[in-house]
Amino acid sequence: MIRLSVARFASSALCALAASLMLTACAAVPQKDREFLSDPIMQRQDDPLESGIESHDFPRREGSTGGNSGSGGGCGC
């Protein structure tokens, strides 16, 4: 039952990805207007090293499962 739930969840995720692709494919910002989009604070991660450290260390400090993308690389315990 739980495995089915995960499969359904994964299927929903794939559908969401596909729908997003179709919905956004028409949007286009001209190159000359992309100045702000390349700014550090407009990036998905403004500091990759900070994000990397957090990805490794934060789940074990918080004691969480699934709250971060990190899935391996040491139990830190």
Interface ranges with another protein (CB under 8 A): 2-3, 5-6, 9-10, 12-14, 16-17, 20-21, 24-25, 27-31, 33-37, 39-44, 46-50, 52-53, 56-57, 59-69, 71-77
- Least distance from C-beta 68 to another protein, angstroms? 8
Least distance to another protein from the beta carbon of 33, Å?
4
DSSP 36-69: GGGSGGGSSSS-HHHHHHHHHHHHHHHT-SSSSS
For residue 21, report the phi and psi dihedrals to the nearest 5 degrees: -60, -45
